[in-house]
Amino acid sequence: MIASEPLPHFVDDLLGYLHETHPTHATLDGVHTHDDLLEDVSRHGDRQRSARALRATCAGSTRSTATR
């Protein structure tokens, strides 16, 4: 076994994970296996993402003040 052999496997696994979690970036990289997961870039989709982020932020601040 060559010492540098695990690196390509790590890179493949990392890129697979990144492409799955960020399907738009995967498409830009030429990987189309996750096209069905593309983010909704419409105004409605943007509002939904903003609302989710706000809820997550509010939930996190509630938890952090509760543990003090």
Ranges of H-type helices in 22-42: 23-28
Contact 24, 35 (CB under 8 A): no
User: How many other C-beta atoms lie within 10 A of the C-beta of residue 20?
Assistant: 13
Shared domain for 30 and 49, answered yes or no, is no
Q: Is the pLDDT of residue 3 over 80?
A: no
Within a domain: 3: no
Domain count of the chain? 2
**Which amino acid belongs to residue 61?**
S
Shared domain for 29 and 48, answered yes or no, is no
Mean pLDDT, the chain, rounded, equals 84
Ranges of H-type helices in 1-68: 6-21, 23-28, 43-66
Shared domain for 16 and 32, answered yes or no, is yes
Domain that holds residue 63: 44-68
Q: pLDDT tens digits, residue range 26-46?
A: 999 999 999 998 888 899 988
Could you tell me the pTM of the whole model?
0.53
